[in-house]
Amino acid sequence: MKIPQISIFVSNRPGRIHAVCQSLADADINLLSLTLADSGEFGLIRIIVSHPEKAVEVLGKSGIVAIVTDVVACEVSALKGGLAKLLSTPAGSLQIDYMYAYPTCHQKDKAIMILRFTDPDEAIALLEEAGVKLLSKKDILG
Amino acid sequence: MKRNCWNDQNGRFLPEMSLDFMPVDKLKQVQLQRLQATVSLAYEKVPLFRSRMDEKKLKPSDIKSLKDITLIPFSMKKDLRDTYPYGLFATDMKQVVRLHASSGTTGKPIVVGYTQEDMDVWAQVIKRGLLATGYTSDDIVQNFYGYGLFTGGLGVHGGLESLGATVIPVSGGNTERQIMIMKDFEVTAIAGTPSYFIRIIDVAEKMGIDLKTLKIKRGLFGAEPWSDGMRDYIEERTGIKAYDIYGLSEIIGPGVGCECECQNGIHIYEDHFYPEIIDPETLEPLPDGQEGELVISTLSKQAMPILRYRTRDITSIEATPCPCGRTIRRIKRIGRRSDDMFIIRGVNVFPSQIETALLRAEKALPHYQIVLDRKNHLDTVEVKVEVSRDMMSDSMSDMDSLNKRFSHSIEQILGISVLVTLCEPDSLPRSEGKAKRVIDNRAIGGSL
């Protein structure tokens, strides 16, 4: 139930996000989600793409440093209190490094949250035990 | 057959090797004869040397012993610039068969010339270095020193051909192709700048190729100062033996000296290049074992004899003999150059200290650059460090602590605070495969 997410190190300069997106576009790789974290001189771009292994390879060839990180995709209710409910399960008290909303969900009353746990295996076990619906790699990447 | 110092691995006698083991008395005799001839040549043919000696009322015939070398005035890089391009040549251009030049990143380049005899000496000294570090005519050698005006590529090339090794003149650049050739051509030995080889190591890893599984056994590295830490790093990551070859274009190029298999200092080919150590402040000669600036006089160069050239390299002549038995003396590996040194807030800093700090923090050797600036009358140091995949983390706090590890380690060694900036790979400039380590914006851009 782990989803491969790609984390990319970029200098904080104009044009670097474009360079990443162009390398992926040239290799026919589809971007499914993108978030940015920045720290003055550099930033981390975190993306989920249709072809993760190929993405790391093409980025590497363009001289861009990228690594694969495992994240977990949880389905939550899109109604009030949906995310609070997820975090009230035992998994919610584990160390969460960061989280973000996955942009595409085909069901109106549902949302998908991407969570990065320090220990994803332990989190998956706890989430499954609590009856949280986890999306598989196939669900997300297609 | 067991190899010894006089024979190659097939037991053949090698006359070049015997030169490394000449009895000291004989060596001194050769040095004196050649020094006297060089001083005469320089005095007769090179106006700059003649006028400087005339100023001191010194005649070539005054050089009666090796000790008298201290009477001769020094020469330095500025002299080559001032006499650009051919002012220090001692022969007609007809006799000059090769020209090389420095890259000229600061003003005019310097030009050096070689007669055929000089070319033969150059190949011979590099061949002696190759033999001393275990290269044989069976080796397939990838030479990734830059070919062209730079003395590195063609200099080492000549030595390799003279040894009879199979040379691959790949020159620098196109790292992925370098790795493909290493693998496909079954390369057994390499030569080039150490900073570029570090790059090759990183790219090979990215390509999923473990250099330890290839046939490469040894490498000759030079053209820039590199630390013992960098040697350990190269040897551990690739399983090869890394040897230091020393030289400078003004003297001949690579091959002024080279390590032997003991890896404990650079043997200077003293029968062709006479080494001295001086105090760079007082210019007084220093005894063996004491650290100072290396000064070299050529003893056999014809096209461009150079007397007492101040190399700016800081080292010492080893006082004890090498276990290999060579009688030619050794200098300590060059860790720093006096003109690499910069003074920041009153503290003397060498790039090699920053290198040591980075290695200590991360057990990896990233490409780095030091940028000096002046803001509000205060000198600032920024160390830009290229991040590799090994160092990268998906967590922002891990990246921040990587940055802090680097800056703490540097501050511990230098005692001054620095700003560390993490950069993308290949974002810092490299010239000719030589790393450009220090950018000083204080004089030009900084507000004084």
* DSSP string across B134-157: T--TT-EEEE-SPPSSSHHHHHHH
pLDDT at site B446: 36
A6, A67 Cβ separation under 8 angstroms: yes
Question: Which positions in chain A touch B389 (Cβ < 8 Å)?
Answer: 60, 65-67
Residues B386, B304 within the same domain: no
CA distances to A34, B181, B384, B428 from B388, in Å: 22, 23, 13, 13
* C-alpha closest to that of B238 among B285, B182, B290, B293: B182
Per the domain annotation, does B15 fall within a domain? yes
Question: Which positions in chain A touch B422 (Cβ < 8 Å)?
Answer: 9, 41-42
Report d(CA B403, CA B395) in Å as an integer: 13
Rounded to a whole number of angstroms, the distance from the CA of A81 to the nearest CA of chain B is 28
**How much is the average pLDDT of B143-150?**
93
Size of interface A-B (CB pairs under 8 A): 53
pLDDT band of residue B402 (cuts 50, 70, 90) is very high
B259, B243 Cβ separation under 8 angstroms: yes
Q: How many domains does chain B have?
A: 2
* C-alpha closest to that of B221 among B210, B234, B208: B234
Q: What is the pLDDT of residues B431-445, one digit of tens each?
A: 556 667 888 887 654
Rounded to a whole number of angstroms, the distance from the CA of B177 to the nearest CA of chain A is 13
Pick among A12, A41, A70, A117 to test the B interface (most B CBs inside 10 A): A41
Question: Which positions in chain A touch B393 (Cβ < 8 Å)?
Answer: 7, 67
Pick the last residue of a domain from B307, B338, B369: B338
Residues B26, B124 within the same domain: yes
B75 CB-contact burial (10 Å; exposed 0-12 / middle 13-18 / buried 19+): buried
Please determine, for residue A90, whether its predicted confidence score (pLDDT) is greater than 90. Answer: yes
Residues B331, B414 within the same domain: no
CA angle B352, B358, B360 (to 5 degrees): 105
Per the domain annotation, does B448 fall within a domain? no
Q: What is the pLDDT of residues B88-113, one digit of tens each?
A: 999 999 999 999 998 655 567 889 99
Considering Cα of A2, then A6, then A9, then A15, what sign does the dihedral take?
negative
Most confidently modeled of A15-24, B7-16, B332-341? A15-24
Look at A68-82, B59-73, B131-145, B371-385 and tell me which has the smallest mean pLDDT.
B371-385
Per the domain annotation, does B445 fall within a domain? no
* C-alpha closest to that of B252 among B370, B364, B156, B122: B122
Rounded to a whole number of angstroms, the distance from the CA of A129 to the nearest CA of chain B is 27
What residues contact residue B235 under an 8 Å CB cut-off, 6+ apart? B241, B242
- Beta carbons of B387 and A9 less than 8 Å apart: yes
Domain that holds residue B362: 342-440
Q: What is the pLDDT of residues B258-273, one digit of tens each?
A: 999 999 999 999 999 9
pLDDT at site B9: 55
Question: Which positions in chain A touch B395 (Cβ < 8 Å)?
Answer: 97
pLDDT at site B434: 65
Q: Which of B387, B393, B396 lies closest to A39 in CB terms?
A: B396
pLDDT band of residue B34 (cuts 50, 70, 90) is very high
**How much is the average pLDDT of B236-250?**
96
- Beta carbons of A97 and B388 less than 8 Å apart: no
Pick the last residue of a domain from B319, B338, B357: B338
Of residues B13 and B49, more confidence is placed in B49
Per the domain annotation, does B446 fall within a domain? no
Please determine, for residue B430, whether its predicted confidence score (pLDDT) is greater than 80. Answer: no
Report d(CA B81, CA B87) in Å as an integer: 9
Question: Which positions in chain A touch B396 (Cβ < 8 Å)?
Answer: 37, 39, 44
Residues B82, B9 within the same domain: yes
Rounded to a whole number of angstroms, the distance from the CA of A70 to the nearest CA of chain B is 10
pLDDT at site B4: 45
Provide the Cα torsion A36, A39, A43, A48; round to 10°: -30
Residues B17, B98 within the same domain: yes
Residues B114, B233 within the same domain: yes
Q: Which of A5, A39, A64 lies closest to B400 in CB terms?
A: A39
pLDDT at site B1: 36
Q: Which of A37, A64, A69 lies closest to B396 in CB terms?
A: A37
> Which pTM was predicted?
0.74
Residues B180, B220 within the same domain: yes
Phi, psi for B331 (deg, rounded to 5): -110, 155
Token pair 């000496």 in the structure block, residue? B121
Rounded to a whole number of angstroms, the distance from the CA of A9 to the nearest CA of chain B is 7
- Residue B420 maps to which CATH number? 3.30.300.30
Report d(CA A112, CA B167) in Å as an integer: 59
Q: What is the pLDDT of residues B281-320, one digit of tens each?
A: 899 999 999 999 999 999 999 999 999 999 989 999 998 9
Token pair 């620098």 in the structure block, residue? B172
Token pair 């003279």 in the structure block, residue? B162
Pick among B424, B426, B430 to test the A interface (most A CBs inside 10 A): B424
- For residue A41, give the chain B residue with the closest CA: B421
Please determine, for residue B3, whether its predicted confidence score (pLDDT) is greater than 50. Answer: no
Report d(CA B334, CA B371) in Å as an integer: 22
- Beta carbons of B392 and A65 less than 8 Å apart: yes
Report d(CA B343, CA B370) in Å as an integer: 13
- Edge-to-edge, what's the strand order for the sheet holding B378-386? B419-423, B378-386, B368-375, B438-440
Report d(CA B282, CA A67) in Å as an integer: 55
Please determine, for residue B5, whether its predicted confidence score (pLDDT) is greater than 50. Answer: no
Q: Which of A10, A60, A67 lies closest to B424 in CB terms?
A: A10
pLDDT at site B363: 76
- For residue A70, give the chain B residue with the closest CA: B394
Please determine, for residue A80, whether its predicted confidence score (pLDDT) is greater than 80. Answer: yes
Residues B262, B374 within the same domain: no
- Beta carbons of A42 and B423 less than 8 Å apart: yes
Strand ranges (E), B104-214: 111-115, 140-143, 166-168, 189-192
Question: Which positions in chain A touch B204 (Cβ < 8 Å)?
Answer: none
**How much is the average pLDDT of B201-214?**
91
Please determine, for residue B199, whether its predicted confidence score (pLDDT) is greater than 90. Answer: no
**How much is the average pLDDT of A76-101?**
93
Residues B286, B413 within the same domain: no
pLDDT at site B432: 55
Residues B195, B109 within the same domain: yes
Pick the last residue of a domain from B317, B338, B359: B338
Q: Which of A39, A64, A97 lies closest to B399 in CB terms?
A: A39
Per the domain annotation, does B447 fall within a domain? no
Please determine, for residue B7, whether its predicted confidence score (pLDDT) is greater than 60. Answer: no
CA distances to A31, A86, A121, B419 from A25, in Å: 9, 35, 32, 36
**How much is the average pLDDT of A24-39?**
94
- Beta carbons of A44 and B396 less than 8 Å apart: yes
What's chain B's average pLDDT?
90
Rounded to a whole number of angstroms, the distance from the CA of B386 to the nearest CA of chain A is 10
Look at A59-68, B57-66, B424-433 and tell me which has the smallest mean pLDDT.
B424-433
**How much is the average pLDDT of A79-107?**
91
Interhelix angle A16-26/A52-61, rounded to 10 degrees, is 120
Considering Cα of B349, then B352, then B358, then B361, what sign does the dihedral take?
negative
Question: Which positions in chain B touch A63 (Cβ < 8 Å)?
Answer: 424-426
Report d(CA B249, CA B222) in Å as an integer: 12
Per the domain annotation, does B267 fall within a domain? yes
Rounded to a whole number of angstroms, the distance from the CA of A29 to the nearest CA of chain B is 20
- Beta carbons of B387 and A65 less than 8 Å apart: yes
Q: What is the DSSP letter of A119?
A: S
Per the domain annotation, does B62 fall within a domain? yes
Domains and CATH numbers, chain A: 2-69 (3.30.2130.10), 71-137 (3.30.70.260)
- Beta carbons of B392 and A39 less than 8 Å apart: no
**How much is the average pLDDT of B37-58?**
97
Rounded to a whole number of angstroms, the distance from the CA of A68 to the nearest CA of chain B is 8
- Beta carbons of B425 and A65 less than 8 Å apart: yes
Say how many Å lie between the first and final Cα of chain B, rounded.
Answer: 68
Please determine, for residue B327, whether its predicted confidence score (pLDDT) is greater than 90. Answer: yes
What residues contact residue B119 under an 8 Å CB cut-off, 6+ apart? B97, B98, B158
B156, B182 Cβ separation under 8 angstroms: no
Question: Which positions in chain B touch A18 (Cβ < 8 Å)?
Answer: none
Report d(CA B86, CA B164) in Å as an integer: 33
B389's tokens:
């995949």
Q: What is the pLDDT of residues A47-77, one digit of tens each?
A: 999 999 999 999 988 889 999 999 999 999 9
Q: What is the pLDDT of residues B124-140, one digit of tens each?
A: 999 999 999 999 999 99
**How much is the average pLDDT of B231-255?**
95
Look at A114-118, B188-192, B261-265, B338-342 and tell me which has the smallest mean pLDDT.
B338-342
Portion of chain B with pLDDT greater than 90, in percent: 68
Please determine, for residue A5, whether its predicted confidence score (pLDDT) is greater than 50. Answer: yes
Report d(CA B378, CA B116) in Å as an integer: 53
Q: Which of A16, A39, A63 lies closest to B425 in CB terms?
A: A63
Locate all alpha helices (DSSP H) within B313-430, ordered by sequence.
351-362, 396-414
Considering Cα of B345, then B350, then B353, then B355, what sign does the dihedral take?
positive
- Residue B282 maps to which CATH number? 3.40.50.12780
Residues B225, B349 within the same domain: no
**How much is the average pLDDT of B41-55?**
97
- For residue A9, give the chain B residue with the closest CA: B424
pLDDT band of residue B423 (cuts 50, 70, 90) is very high
Reported as type and span, the H/E element at residue B379 is strand B378-386
B343's tokens:
């003074």
pLDDT band of residue B2 (cuts 50, 70, 90) is very low
pLDDT at site B8: 54
**How much is the average pLDDT of B378-403?**
90
Q: What is the ipTM of this complex?
A: 0.85
Q: Which of B394, B396, B421 lies closest to A41 in CB terms?
A: B421
Residues B387, B297 within the same domain: no
Rounded to a whole number of angstroms, the distance from the CA of A56 to the nearest CA of chain B is 10
Per the domain annotation, does B381 fall within a domain? yes
